[in-house]
Structure 1
Amino acid sequence: MPAASEADAVSPATRQSNFEQGVALALHLWPDLTLAVQNHWGGPDSEDKRDWFAGAVVDLFPDLSKPSTAAAPSQDEPDTAYVEEFLLQVMVDEFEVNVDDDSSLEVAEQIIRVRNGCVNGNFEEVDTLRRRFESRKGSKVSFQKGEDEEVEASDWDTDEEEDGDDDASDGDVEMGDAPPREPAKKERQEPHVDEDGFTTVTRKKR
């Protein structure tokens, strides 16, 4: 963690920018969301919905670039349970997916760690997510803030192309162009669609 003087020297805008990037990276690395986007379960604009999704998560938190935001998390800061509930609700509402594994909690915990770090001028968690993302694709990510305003966080717009026919593997999802299909190691597990038409994503057993 940076020394107090170093942390104080980090501008509010830099803290907010890193928080936004961290949220976008966490969502791009979420296997269940990647699977939903690849298969267009949110419709033809599924990729745009993911960008909007990141902006909606960012908007749950006070803007760190505003002088009115305290130097430490305030009472208005959502906790892990609230963020996870929001993630699950958006997956149902926008992608018609019931997430039936622990991945939503893992993503929520990542987002809270990113938030706490950025509040204190510590971007280690963001850097970790960035390295994970770049090791898989090295593309750029973006998010949409509010209803209409698309925010390009410096070099972080998305330029990836999703292939609707490729499945996600056990929590280790390729973020780039569709890799060549490998010889079947296991029989592909088809998503379960319940009587209400919602897709349920379950964690595959290793």
Structure 2
Amino acid sequence: MDAQFATAAPATDASSFLDLAITLVLNSWPALTLAVQSNWGGPTSADKRDWLCGAISDMLKERPETDAEDLEDVLIQVMNDEFEVLVDDESAGDVALEIMEYRAQTARGDFSAIQGLWEKWQRKSSQKAAATNMFKQVETRDEDQETDDDEDESDAEDVEMGDAPNLVRAPREKAEPEIDEDGFTMVKKKR
């Protein structure tokens, strides 16, 4: 999920809550997430996911007769056309049902489940950010230590090591082939 979405203003009406739900559900769909992270839709994979969120929102507003099967068909087609992913694990149907349930809730004026989903997403995002920052700090410390170690090595005086053992073997002398009394060359097994 991009930083712009993570800092978006909270939803205030039924339409914006539904848009939020669609975005959260699609950003949580493992098949789409993997396709975006792997750039299976090309370098604009994240933009394609954002476009899909808007397209589904528009479809639900412009065609109120849309049902879960219609939505599932759209999800499968977009995954195939835009990301070259054949979704055959029925997850597209689950995503479609979840979006349709949030649509029904917003139509009733019930936004509590979407608000809970949003809060869960924010907690998860902040935990990821904290983990990323901790990783960056550890990585920075490791780089600092390597630099310090390099400086210590360069400051140290050279120590005489004496005669080091030969690490390169002298080539073996090739044994002359043995020829038996009939004139045949004997083949010896290598060790």
Report what 2:36 is aligned to: 37
Query: What amino acid sits opposite 2:107 in the alignment?
Result: V
- How far the C-alpha of 1:36 sits from its partner, in A, is 0.1
Structure showing the higher strand proportion among its residues: 1
* CA shift in 2, pair 1:25/1:115, >3 Å: same
Query: What amino acid sits opposite 1:116 in the alignment?
Result: A
Distance 2:89 2:123 in 1: 24
Report what 1:119 is aligned to: 107
Report what 1:184 is aligned to: none
1:84 aligns with 2:72: yes
1:134 aligns with 2:122: yes
Report what 2:18 is aligned to: 19
Give ranges in structure 1 of 5+ residues lacking alignment.
1-12, 64-74, 140-159, 162-175, 181-206
- How far the C-alpha of 1:86 sits from its partner, in A, is 0.7
Query: What amino acid sits opposite 1:91 in the alignment?
Result: M
Structure showing the higher helix proportion among its residues: 2
Helix, strand or coil for the counterpart of 1:44?
A: coil
- Select the residue among 72, 79, 86 that pairs with 1:98: 86
Distance 2:32 2:120 in 1: 16
Identity of aligned residues (%): 39
Helix, strand or coil for the counterpart of 1:42?
A: coil
Q: Counterparts of 1:50-199 in structure 2 under 5 Å?
A: 50-62=49-61, 76-138=64-126
Distance 1:109 1:138 in 2: 28
Report what 1:46 is aligned to: 45
Query: What amino acid sits opposite 1:29 in the alignment?
Result: S
Distance 2:123 2:86 in 1: 28
TM-score (norm 1): 0.53
- Contact kept? 1:25, 1:129, Cα under 8 Å: yes
- How far the C-alpha of 1:138 sits from its partner, in A, is 4.3
Q: CA RMSD in A?
A: 2.8
- How far the C-alpha of 1:106 sits from its partner, in A, is 1.2
- How far the C-alpha of 1:130 sits from its partner, in A, is 1.6
Please give the per-residue CA displacement for 1:69-91, whole angstroms capped at 9, x wherever unaligned.
Answer: xxxxxx83311111111111110
Distance 1:107 1:55 in 2: 15
- How far the C-alpha of 1:128 sits from its partner, in A, is 3.4
